[in-house]
Amino acid sequence: MKIRTGCDVESVARFAELLQKEHFCQRVFTEAERAHIAASGHREETAAGIYCAKEAISKALGRGLFGLQPQELGLVWDEKGAPQAALTGSAAAQYGHLQLAVSISHTKETAFATCVALEE
């Protein structure tokens, strides 16, 4: 069994400007993530947290975002609101055998996410 971890931290203020750029949002966030951000009531914090989770997932995969599309490192939320990794495309083809656990947290200023990947 092999355990890999990844984490990321981002400034929330940075996402106030980035969310104004439609190209950025469509390139980075899935449709479900964009809907989650819009419904959250804390758009910048939520977007920063989701972005952190994508970075954390990519680091747990051992490669960072190099060669992966951010949308392939998607998130969905369970019935209790906990984030779950949802790999698609080439990320799913290469890493679909891994079990991933994701956690996201934020304040008004900072977002943080961590990912643990388990390979049996």
Q: Angle, nearest 10°, between helix axes 43-60 and 31-39?
A: 140
Inter-residue contact 24 to 76 (CB < 8 Å) = no
pTM of the model: 0.95
Domain edges within the chain: 2-119
pLDDT value, residue 67: 76
Q: Give the sign of the dihedral formed by CA 97, CA 74, CA 36, CA 40.
A: positive
Euclidean distance between CA atoms 97 and 71, whole angstroms:
18
pLDDT at 47: 98
- Span 56-83, average pLDDT: 90
C-alpha to C-alpha distance for 59 and 13, rounded to whole angstroms: 23
Looking at domain 2-119, its CATH class is: alpha beta
- pLDDT for 12: 97
